[in-house]
Amino acid sequence: MEGNCIPRLCVLMLTMLTCFATIKATESDISCLRSIKESLEDPSGFLSNWNFSNNSAGFICRFTGVECWRPTENKVFHIRLPGMRLRGPFPMGIRNCDSLIGLNLSNNYLSGPIPSNISKVLPFITTLDLSNNTLTGPIPPGIANCTLINVLMLDNNHLTGQIPPEFSKLERIKEFSVANNRLSGAVPVFSNTSFPAESYANNSGLCGGPMNACSNDNDDLFFPGFAVGFPISTILSMLFMFLCWPRLRIRTSRYYPFWIKKRERRTHHLIPRNPQVLFAENVSSMETKVSAMEKFICRFRLMELEMATNDFDNKNVIGYGNMGLMYKGECPKCLLVAIKRLHRFESFEKEFLSEIEILGRLSHTNLVQMLGFCFEMERKFLVYKYMSNGTLHQWLYGRSHQEAMKMGWTLRLKIAVGVAKGIAWLHHNNVLHLKINSKCILLDDKFEPKISNFGNAIILIDTSDTPLSDCNFIVPDSSPYKDDVYSFGILLLELVTSREPSTWINSLTDYVWGVDFDLIDECLMGQGFDEEIYEILKIAKNCIHPCEDEATNMLQVYQAMCAIGTSRNEISLVSYTDLENNQRDV
């Protein structure tokens, strides 16, 4: 009996320790935000909804300017408080947000120096924007220890001294500006990129790089040094010629000195065969395209992904697809990610770049969140935020009957509305998905749907220099948009029937007209939602077979489905604000 108690006691202690660690992490982030509010003056009351008396799950995630890794846990992912007239020094309490990767405090009235230990305060920061404040003092060299940083904006302050030469270590940096300060000295040479003169403008003491060349105070010493050094070097050269030259054996062939032969051999080996030349050009071309994508989203190193997945252990595989394998990974601070490892025997160049360009530039609550990508040694990887509830297809078909029963009509309608909203947002930004189905709909821990798999997506207009969300709206009535509308209609029927489309696609007319009600999922009927189910069937009909005189677009579909949700006053089911209110700036 005593022997059995000991293991149970150990399990209990481990459980308590785990819960304590979780509570501690939650309390740490709450303390972080509380200290920010206490240390900064907020004359305009922008932080008035930062109410810490609430103890519900994820309550700080609803604060103005706060974004969490998961809506149900108080783990801060990004803080954005630009243009809020906040006053005071840099909030040192922000170090307690130990999972923070983005901070934007631009266009405020922050004063004083930037913390010298900022790499310890923000160890995982990728975006730091302190521009347009009144910060003073030098730029701390410790920023160079923030090795994950992609964006560093310090322009329009009162910073003095030089730009730390240690900044050359920042291999990931893609956006950088220190314009309109009081800096002096040489501009650092970044290892993987360079920045235009505008990034350094209005700092009269800066030189080098795109600025004027730095003057060399040692120029006046050149000629005296030359006058002394030249005779000495001449004497040493003559001694070498007379003392060492006879010992050298000149190996010759019949006609040429040995050094000419050696050069010929070397040249011969340096000329590759034609296939190798073409292969090198292709790799170079792909690398150029991939490098251009870095302005949209973070680029990971292969070593980082190997560590996150235990060297891509098969135990971490969570999905298979035509393009590759999906792994579950764990990054620093226990942040869960999903890593798609593309097959090496296929190129998938178009699909790889398409996913990065669309998800790296266009964000929305109902689109899967891409965190970054990796391209090394011809291997391609895409990194997403992990979705704990898998795909809609798994819930409809791959789980037990009891688990499927949990997906009642209210939840299915919520998922359908979210997907409609996401597709409408894509069409608003001139993007066609072209492969909408239950396998590409991911579900987070609150069953909020996230559209994924953008490998076949198409951008209808050139957006190379424009954020997709800023594109002009095009009424999606043309035939390309109808493909997504049709696919969404099929998805609605899947939600209503819980049956694979392959089993009923040939009798689609009967489905749409609602003749064969026996095909509707039996767990949905007789629960008080029959009228709503019939309304959804009508919407599916309009998606699959729209009226000839009036095209159906996804914005109309979304609005019609919202009307169904409001019929029973379930305001929590959907959001009735504009589509733009669910745009997420990653």
How far apart are the C-alpha atoms of 365 and 410, rounded to whole Å?
19
Mean pLDDT of each 10-residue bin along the chain, 586 residues long = 45 39 62 90 88 81 84 81 90 89 92 91 91 93 90 93 90 90 91 86 88 66 53 65 49 36 34 33 64 82 92 90 88 83 80 88 89 89 93 81 71 94 91 92 93 89 46 45 90 89 67 58 84 89 74 86 67 42 45
- DSSP lists the bridge partners of residue 534 as none
Count of all residues that appear for the chain in the document: 586
Q: Which residues contact 511 (CB under 8 A, 6 or more apart)?
A: 493, 497, 504, 519, 537, 540
DSSP conformational letter for 113: P
Ordered structural domains, the chain, with CATH: 25-207 (3.80.10.10), 283-385 (3.30.200.20), 392-582 (1.10.510.10)
3-state secondary structure at position 515 = coil
Contact of 114 with 90, CB cutoff 8 Å:
yes
How far apart are the C-alpha atoms of 457 and 508, rounded to whole Å?
26
Measured at the CA of 404, the angle between CA 398 and CA 406, to 5 degrees, comes to 145
Question: How would you label 66-76 residue by residue, b for 16+ Cβ within 10 Å and e otherwise?
Answer: bbbbbeebbbb
pLDDT at 230: 60
pLDDT at 363: 82
pLDDT at 345: 63
pLDDT at 414: 93
pLDDT at 244: 53
How far from 23 is each of 9, 18, 19, 252, 391, CA to CA, in Å?
21, 9, 6, 80, 29
DSSP conformational letter for 395: I
Contact of 156 with 135, CB cutoff 8 Å:
no
How far apart are the C-alpha atoms of 497 and 223, rounded to whole Å?
90
Q: Which residues contact 363 (CB under 8 A, 6 or more apart)?
A: 369, 469, 583, 584, 585, 586
Contact of 158 with 134, CB cutoff 8 Å:
yes
User: Hey, what are 72's tokens?
Assistant: 């149900």
User: Hey, what are 239's tokens?
Assistant: 């001694």
> Which pTM does this prediction carry?
0.53
| Residue 102: half-sphere exposure toward Cβ, Cα within 13 Å | 19
